[in-house]
Structure 1
Amino acid sequence: MSETLIADLRAACPNAVVWDKAELASRDPGFDQRNFGASALVRPADTEGVAALVKFCAARGLSLVAQGGRTGLTGAAATVAGQVICDLGALNRVEE
């Protein structure tokens, strides 16, 4: 994983919250510790931010894992180093 990943993510997604591995380690991952195994978490503020993140990860061959409630009860949000989490928690309304 590039040492500039976090800076590059912040530049590509300027309106998003971006956490690095250390920030993830200091947060509650929910029911399953593997929820925060990724190298970074990005919480886009809107659909444009999600699109920018998807484009960023696709261009670099990075695995992107979407997370919603992050309960971890089914293991679907489990991540490993080298992956990027797309936290969908800020997308909290339906627009026309």
Structure 2
Amino acid sequence: MTSGFFCFLACYFYILHSVLLDKFYLGKTCDSFEEKLPNHLSDHDGFTSKSKDWKLVHQEEFPGKKTAYLRERTVKSWKSKKKIEALLSNVG
């Protein structure tokens, strides 16, 4: 017998912005963003290591890894800073 309770793993698509680089970084995570941001700001070999001023400018919640990944791939496929800026300006 099931209780009818359904639990899902919340995952997120997010956009970071660096004023210094004037660049966006698009990512996804199933961790809390408070845990993820320090990784981006740390010294490492990745793209976000080029600056230490990354700020979260957009976040969307999804019910699992697959849907968050699909959203990330969709926005990355735009390959357009203007489209990302339009997304950001259309959100509240």
TM-score over 0.5 for the pair: no
Whose helix proportion is higher, 1 or 2? 2
Structure with larger Rg: 2
TM-score (normalised: structure 1): 0.27
- Pick the structure with more strand per residue: 2
